[in-house]
Structure 1
Amino acid sequence: MLLATMLYRVSHLTVGLLAVLQHQRDQPAHYAALFVALALSVLLFGTALRRGWFDRRFLWADILVNGATLPLALCAWGGADQSAELGWVMLLGTSSSAAAAVVLRRWTLLGAVALLALTHLLGYRLVSAGTAVILGHTNSLLFSAAMAWTFWWYLRRQGRMLDDANARTLAAEARKARYAERLEHHLMLHDTVLATLTTLASGSVDANSPHVRERCAREAARLRRLIQQTADEEAHQSIAEALEGAVADAERLRLRVTVQCHALPEVPSEVATALADAVREALNNVRRHAGTDHAYVTATGDASRRSVRVTVVDRGPGFDPRNYEPGLGLRRSVHDRMAQVGGRAVLDTAPGEGVRVELRWPG
């Protein structure tokens, strides 16, 4: 609205300049009036551009001087005795009314517009303008204010609607983020604490062995941080370090893991974490379901393409994937975690052929 009303004023000043050069070239009062109108316009709109909005003091100066005083001054001292000689300065009142419509409140605005309208009526009466000229210019003044006020009301209304929509979107995103955080906590518990408890309950490991006790202590500390809402795991520096942690967790529960790594590239920490978490869950599945105590992890990379491929293989009995419904661990802890970082997980198995889980990044 600031730019729109400024362009409106520029059009009126342009008309004034052309009128003075063509018809009042030999009348210094008209040059002085044009200079005053230009100076006040620069003060009003220049200050508004710097500050971001209109200064009411300068707006009232524009209304009182450009809109109300200059037309009467030209009639009294500028020798204006025809409507054509007065028309250009009357136009300044219409752009003053437009600026007032976006700044002033209701009753103050009505008073300003009434003052400008009376100035139009009085000024044109002094130069004996026709009724059509008086009504036409007064109509232009009134509707300039009405249109500016309507546009400003509509923009504010749309802005409030947009703010409300943004607020609803932010609230929905906050709920989504809280749900994602809870889901991540559930997955962490599934992959660590629940896996440990399941193994201890099965009796396949000695609960008093140092390795098992060490793992239980680590997971108790992790739970404590989670309860205190400070469960920010230290970011892994590399894929190798991330995989080492996942393999160490599995080996503490008496799963032998043969690991081979080759030419692993640097990747974002969230990718390394996702790969490690997916490998951890795949090894948990080997220990729980494969009927074997040995698994193989192979990690290779392509530095030129900045890609990684990690496989987890067991030589257990395998299964028919057509008759298999993925559980929470495989679906969320493996497939979903890889998808969240732009990767992919592929399961390859058949009865009697063992299970091969391949993790790829990028997918």
Structure 2
Amino acid sequence: MIIRALAWLRGVQFLLWIWVPFTDGDPGRFAPQVLAGYVVAALFSVALFTVAVKRDTLSARWVCADVVLAVVYAIVVSRSYPPVEAASITNWVIPPLCGVTVTAAIYGGRYRVPAVVLVVGAWVVGAWPALGTDSSTELLSNNVMMALFAGVAGITGKLLFETAGGADRAAAETAVERGRAERASERERQIRHLHDTVLQTLEGIAQGARGSGLDEVRRICGAEAEAQRATVLAARPDGTVASVVQALAVMVQDHPAQKELHQVITKFDSRLPDLPAEVVEVLTGATREALNNIVKYARTDEARVTAALLEPGGIKVTVVDHGVGFAAGTTPPGFGARRSILEPVAGIGGKAFIDSAPGEGTIVEMTWTP
């Protein structure tokens, strides 16, 4: 939600300047670096938020690149304007710089404050010639605006992340407890069933109350075996459905990644329907293998597992890490990636792919629709 809001904000901030060259009366009066910088910055922002929406997060590398580019155009473009216009609305860099400070304040981590200070400082350096002109007041007000926006965004973003994280953890814990309770109930049912059937038969044979001869004992055992076989088959017919949310939550909760990594973030859509047991089993196993590979090869301290509704009645499971990654076109680390992720998901009629780049982490995405 935050990433999409930032993307819309940045888009509007760039669009604010579109009217200036045409209403100014002389579009050709702008220096080449003004228009060229605008195009480069806009295209970079498109790439930035396209990747961010796809990965459901903003990595430190992208935030750093966003800040560095902002510093460059804050100075170069602002210095290309006449001093009286450097701090005015005709300078297109002002709104996007606000967007960069807001993004850095939310996703800059421990470097959020230095990043914001760097961007604001670059703006001051670029627009400094405006001092002593009619735009002096705007130079000061824009500084205050960028700093305030960044401060409010940083605090708000932190509160939203903490609230969402708490809700996700509570939902995961609830799903885990529900799954454990259901498994305990199922164990009790199985024990009661065995006590009332197989154990009663065996005790009767041992005490001589049933089966007067070997042939009779064989007949009784055969009949009991058929009854138990029918019970096992009835437990998982082709149409049986299972809770994918509970299966994933229990698997993640019990996975070694909970001890090996600093944090395993889960986000499971509460609208997900129960799915065929085979689909749940395959998706859970593939997710487990993806987490195994993160623990073994990613060299990171965080992983993210999400399960989202995919209409009509389908599911998309995504496992993301921001570890070392690997080059596109090469074999993913871990022998089981193809055997335990790609092939099983294809076997149930789903789709799976693994996307990665050196230093950008890895995305494992699995989808299934009825």
**Residue of structure 2 equivalent to 1:336:** none
Distance 1:268 1:3, change over 3 A: closer
Structure 1 residue 95: deviation in Å?
0.6
**Residue of structure 1 equivalent to 2:175:** 169
Distance 1:141 1:185, change over 3 A: same
**Residue of structure 2 equivalent to 1:54:** 58
Distance 1:21 1:36, change over 3 A: farther
| Secondary structure, counterpart of 1:26 in structure 2 | helix
Structure 1 residue 92: deviation in Å?
1.5
Inter-partner Cα distance in structure 2 for 1:132 and 1:140? 12
Inter-partner Cα distance in structure 1 for 2:162 and 2:46? 30
Could you tell me whether the CA contact under 8 Å between 1:94 and 1:145 is conserved in 2?
yes
Deviates more, 1:121-130 or 1:18-27: 121-130
Which of 14, 25, 28 is the equivalent residue of 2:27? 25
Inter-partner Cα distance in structure 1 for 2:97 and 2:221? 81
The amino acid across from 1:146 in the alignment is G
**Residue of structure 2 equivalent to 1:88:** 92
Say whether 1:76 aligns with 2:82.
Answer: no
Inter-partner Cα distance in structure 2 for 1:46 and 1:9? 12
Deviations 1:272-304 (A, max 9, x none): xxxxxxxxxxxxxxxxxxxxxxxxxxxxxxxxx
What 5-or-longer segments of structure 1 have no aligned partner?
A: 226-230, 237-266, 271-363
The amino acid across from 1:17 in the alignment is I
Deviations 1:15-59 (A, max 9, x none): 122223323623242322322222322332233344444354443
Say whether 1:120 aligns with 2:123.
Answer: yes
| Secondary structure, counterpart of 1:36 in structure 2 | helix
Say whether 1:99 aligns with 2:100.
Answer: no
TM-score between the two structures when normalised by the length of structure 1: 0.52
Could you tell me whether the CA contact under 8 Å between 2:211 and 2:220 is conserved in 1?
no
Give the aligned length. 230
| Identity rate, percent | 14
The amino acid across from 2:46 in the alignment is V
**Residue of structure 2 equivalent to 1:179:** 185
Structure 1 residue 110: deviation in Å?
1.1
Distance 1:180 1:98, change over 3 A: same
Inter-partner Cα distance in structure 1 for 2:36 and 2:177? 58
Q: How does 1:132-281 map to 2 (within 5 A)?
A: 132-165=137-170, 166-194=172-200, 197=203, 207-209=211-213, 212-214=216-218, 217-218=221-222, 233-235=231-233
**Residue of structure 2 equivalent to 1:10:** 11
Structure 1 residue 10: deviation in Å?
0.6
Deviations 1:241-296 (A, max 9, x none): xxxxxxxxxxxxxxxxxxxxxxxxxx9899xxxxxxxxxxxxxxxxxxxxxxxxxx
Inter-partner Cα distance in structure 2 for 1:138 and 1:122? 11
Deviates more, 1:35-44 or 1:53-62: 53-62
Distance 1:151 1:220, change over 3 A: same
The amino acid across from 1:88 in the alignment is W
Deviations 1:44-95 (A, max 9, x none): 2233344444354443333233x33323323433335223255431121111
Structure 1 or 2, whichever has the larger Rg, is 1
Could you tell me whether the CA contact under 8 Å between 1:20 and 1:31 is conserved in 2?
no
| Secondary structure, counterpart of 1:189 in structure 2 | helix
Distance 1:16 1:235, change over 3 A: same
Deviations 1:165-224 (A, max 9, x none): 2134313321331232222221332145336757997x9x664245652355458979xx
Inter-partner Cα distance in structure 1 for 2:238 and 2:114? 65
Inter-partner Cα distance in structure 2 for 1:55 and 1:180? 43
Distance 1:154 1:70, change over 3 A: same
The amino acid across from 1:113 in the alignment is V
What 5-or-longer segments of structure 2 have no aligned partner?
A: 241-370
Structure 1 residue 139: deviation in Å?
2.9
The amino acid across from 2:169 in the alignment is D
Could you tell me whether the CA contact under 8 Å between 1:97 and 1:141 is conserved in 2?
yes
Q: How does 1:39-50 map to 2 (within 5 A)?
A: 39-50=43-54
Inter-partner Cα distance in structure 2 for 1:111 and 1:269? 57
Inter-partner Cα distance in structure 2 for 1:11 and 1:51? 22
Inter-partner Cα distance in structure 2 for 1:74 and 1:200? 94
| Cα-Cα RMSD | 3.8
Structure 1 residue 11: deviation in Å?
0.9
Inter-partner Cα distance in structure 2 for 1:133 and 1:186? 79
Distance 1:115 1:186, change over 3 A: same
| Secondary structure, counterpart of 2:27 in structure 1 | coil
